[in-house]
Structures are given as C-alpha cells and as structure tokens.
Amino acid sequence: MSTALKAPHQIAWAVGLTLAASSAAQAQDLTRAEEAIVRYVDDHTEEAVAFLERAVNINSGTMNHAGVREVARLFEAELSAMGFDARWIELPAQVNRAGHLFAEIDGGEGHRLLLIGHLDTVFEEQSPFQRFGRDGATASGPGVADMKGGDVVLLLALKALHSVGALDRARIIVALTGDEEKPGRPLSLSRADLVQAGMRSDVALGFEGGVDGTGTATVARRGSSRWTLRVVGQRGHSSQIFGARYGAGAVFEAARILDDFYDEVRGEPYLTFNPGVILGGTRVSYDEAAAAGEAYGKTNVIPQEVVVDGGLRFISPEQEERARLAMREIVARGLPMTTATIAFEDGYPAMPPTPGNYELLASLDRVSRDLGFGPVEAVDPGRRGAADISFVAPYVSGLDGLGVAGHGSHTVAETVDLSSLPLVTKRAAVLIYRLTRPDAVRIGGVSRPIR
C-alpha cells in the first residue's frame, strides 16, 4: 500500500513549499491600520493575561458542564461588546455535553472567516491541577496553553481589529466548542453546528498552540477513527487444537490477523493503527465505553472468543478507506473453524494538506516577515493529533496552530510562554485583517461568490 498516497501527497507538499518560498519576495509594509493593530496588542497584553487568569481559574473540564458554561459567559460578554451576535448552543441530552458558544458578525465584505477554539480542558473537577500561576514570562494552570491561551489570542486579535474599526465590514464566525477534549457522541450531533459554519465560510483558522515555538503553523492534521475486531472459535479440549473438528481457536486467529495488519497495512506515510485493548479466552466481556473488560479461560481449553479494540490515524479520507479495505480483506481470510468480523466507527476526519491551506500558510508567512518575526513553516502532520478544524476541512481552506507557545499540555506541568502571546496575536490579527479586506485574494485557487 505504500505507493498509493505518495503522488498526490507529495504534490500538495510541493505546492506548499513553492508558495512559502515565494512569500518573502511578496512581502509588503504594514499599513497605518496594521500598525495601530500592533500597538493595541502591545498596550493590552497584560490585560489579556489577566483575562486568561480568570478563565483558567474556572474549572472547565469537559464533563463539568456548569464550568464550561461559566467560561463561555466570559467570552460571550467580550464578543458581544464588539458587536458580535453571540449565542449559546445547547446540545441534545443524549450527547451529554455542555454545548458551544458561537458568535458572528457580518459586515458583508471579504472572505468569511471561521475562527475556532474550545472552552473545555482535560482537567476535571477532581484534578489536583486547578489554579493559574505565574513566574515571570511563564504561566501555569489547567488549559493555560490548550487552549484557553489560544482562545485569548483569538479574543485579543479581534479586540485589536475592533479598535481600528476593521470589524465593521468583516464577516467572521467565532466557534468555541465545549467538548473538544472529549467530544460528545454522536459526532453528527455534537459537531453539526461547526460543520454548518464551515460550509458557510471561505477560510478556517484554528487557535490551538503551535509546535516547537512560534515559527510553525499546521496545514494538515491526521484523522482518527476506531476499529473493533471480534473473533469466535470452537471451544474444546486443548489437546485437539489444530484438528479438523476444533481448528485453530480464537486467539491464534486474532494473532494471525494482527500480524497480517502489521505486515501488509503498515507503511504508508502518516498511516498508523494501534490495537489498544485485547481480551481473549473461553469467555470475554468488554465495555467499549470504558475500554475495559474481563477474560476467563484455561490452558487446557481452546479459546472461544477474542475482542480487540483499536484506533486508526490517517491523512486523508482516501487513505482511511484504503486501510479499512485492506483490514477487511485480511480479516476475511480466516484460519480453520474460526469466524472474525471487524467494525469501524467514524471519529475525527482528516485535514489533508491542500493547496488552499498552503496559500494560507504563505499569507501568514508574509505577515510574520512584515512584522519582523521571521518565517513560518508547516508542521509535519505526523506530529499533530485530531482537532475541531478537521470537521470543516472538506468545505474550506484552513490553517491551525495560531495559538500560544506552551509545554506539557494535558499534564499537571502545563505551562505557557507569555512572551509568545503578543507575537502570535499580532500575527493572527494582521492575517485576519488582510483576509477580511474586500480586495483580499481568493484562497484555494477558486473564486467563489461572496455570500
């Protein structure tokens, strides 16, 4: 399978490299409005840090619905004060998540931008990691980098634009989801509003943190889905295994399948699959929601059942489908007297590296050079996990990783480099300003009508 992805994937990266390499020659001086935007960020950075402290000190673990809503109210007040039409989106009870904060302003000109963040963190109310702390240019706290820091970058950038009247004609949707760290199921319900916003937009910008500091951005993310393998064999005395009556048993068949996965499916760039849980024996019980179970068996009894729960990561829908097809074919072969089935569950889609995404990278690179911050390079998508921007990738050109620089996300050692906040905010604000101008170059190589 290793050759199937190479041609289109390498073309996309080649386009990106060409666009990024040419950006320096196209650099332009800052306009007066852009200079004023930069000054606003400098003058209000400490105010933004204070706002970040307030947000971090409110526990908003995904399952703390009240906390997620409380953080949303902080941002809703700020967005409404700038003229955004803000609304809280309740999710159906079966999803069991707090909901989302969306806000929109429509001045009728330029690209419609979708700005994406999330309000929740991985730190629930039981976590010992609950408070904001600061030591000079380093701050710590739950979600200080992932991604309340990125949310503050988004907010401060919009405030800077508002200060120069740049929002009057802009068309912007802000989407702050309440369950990015543990998405509610089904995803068709929990991400319906985000997908609809993506379908109405021209460009999506994600404010999760960058990789390796402030000199990178994300043009591609791998998708993530689930697979479950179930194998049934003939139970009998172990002395009769491999014979015509009882065959190979469920464990050998499961081992054969996993070994063939490793030998035949592995190898494409950015394609990985992982059997995270395996249970086998005479009797198996498995709770998919808890990813836990029990197995019972004896060494003198041929095992009758095996269940394997795994994950699949991929760079494009086509790569995902190729992997699934190959896995199905391997499962269908079968050792004697065994039956195996594999089921796939959709999860986060991929964000492929499209030419439009690279055009956005080139635009950000130009902004960064104009500001004197140096170049911005694409992150290897193998270093990034799934994110909300992936849900809109089929409909819109996108760029992620525009947030703060931090370390230790998802751990009690999470920190943010506060000196990165004004830098990435200025860069994001000027990028948004240029993209929302009426004379902005269309992104993605297709001139779509203004809607």
Mean pLDDT of the chain: 92
| Distance (Å) of CA 443 to CA 108, 145, 169, 334, 341 | 17, 29, 19, 49, 44
Residue 182: CB partners within 8 Å, gap ≥ 6? 62, 63, 120, 122
> What is the average per-residue pLDDT within 201-214?
94
Share of the chain above pLDDT 70, in %: 92
pLDDT of the residue at 350: 94
Residue 88 clears pLDDT 60, i.e. is over it? yes
pLDDT of the residue at 28: 59
**pLDDT tens column, 163-174:** 999 999 999 999
Indicate if 223-348 has the same CATH topology as 6-221+351-435: no
At the topology level, CATH places domain 6-221+351-435 in Aminopeptidase (3.40.630)
What is the distance between the alpha carbons of residues 41 and 104, in angstroms, rounded to a whole number?
22
Which of 3.30.300.30, 3.30.450.40, 3.30.70.360, 3.20.20.100 is the CATH number of 223-348?
A: 3.30.70.360
**pLDDT tens column, 74-83:** 999 999 999 9
Cβ neighbours, 10 Å, residue 326: 15
Residues facing residue 171 across a β-bridge: 106, 112
Residues facing residue 121 across a β-bridge: 61
- 7 vs 175 pLDDT, higher one: 175
Residue among 268, 211, 361 at smallest CA distance from 10 = 268
Collapse the DSSP code of 431 into the 3-class scheme (helix H, G, I; strand E, B; otherwise coil) and give the result.
helix
**pLDDT tens column, 244-275:** 999 999 999 999 999 999 999 999 999 999 99
Residue 102 clears pLDDT 90, i.e. is over it? yes
Ranges of each domain in the chain: 6-221+351-435, 223-348
Q: How confident is the model at residue 212 (pLDDT cuts 50, 70, 90)?
A: confident
Sheet holding 171-177, edge to edge: 85-89, 100-106, 171-177, 112-118, 203-206, 397-399
Flag the least confident range among 48-62, 214-228, 431-445: 431-445
What is the distance between the alpha carbons of residues 151 and 403, in angstroms, rounded to a whole number?
8
**pLDDT tens column, 300-337:** 999 999 999 999 999 999 999 999 999 999 999 999 99
Cβ–Cβ under 8 Å, residues 138 and 15: no
| Amino acid sitting at position 44 | H
